[in-house]
Amino acid sequence: MTIGCLLLAFLFLQIPAVQQYIRTASVDYLEEKLQTTVELDDIDINLYRHIVLKGLYIEDREGATLLYAGHAAIRIRSIDPLHKTVRLRGLELGDARANIYRHPGDSSFNYSFFLEAFASNKEKDTVKTKSN
């Protein structure tokens, strides 16, 4: 039964219209989350938790290229939908260019917004004690 479900999911993900939908939804999500331009030419998802992105382009907040990768291969270790987390096993970039710099007169880098967008929103645990 499990193998049948995995095979069905794999076949479903191979349909070009499904991959196009995933590509469009991913770009829309990232553009909203990052508040910048994101482009992706193609996405390929396979059965063994590998995702290949082709033509990935992300701008920084000034409109300059932050990252371009002609080829990005992502290997996923685990997906936890309950906690909305994905753990990666590896990331390989090919034909890649990253434009990273520190803002003049500031200690922040041009990619800081990217890290902030995906930072955990969890409040830190606090312990309250009752004093007599």
Residue 121 has pLDDT above 70, yes or no: no
Poorest-pLDDT segment among 11-15, 18-22, 57-61:
11-15
pTM, full prediction: 0.79
pLDDT band at 125 (very low <50, low <70, confident <90, very high): very low
Mean per-residue pLDDT, 69-81 = 92
For 55, the enclosing helix (H) or strand (E) is: strand 50-59
Which residue, among 58, 65, 70, 52, has the nearest Cα to 29 in the 3D structure?
A: 58
With CA atoms as reference, report the closest residue to 86 among 78, 97, 75.
Answer: 78
Q: Give the model's pLDDT for residue 13.
A: 82
Q: Does 2 score more than 70 pLDDT?
A: yes
Kindly report the average pLDDT of the chain as a whole number. 86
Look at residue 131 in the predicted model and tell me its pLDDT. 53
Q: How confident is the model at residue 80 (pLDDT cuts 50, 70, 90)?
A: confident
Per cent of the chain over pLDDT 70 is 89
Q: Which residues of 2-31 are buried (b: 16+ CB within 10 A; e: fewer)?
A: eeeeeeeeeeebeeeeeeeeebeeebeebe
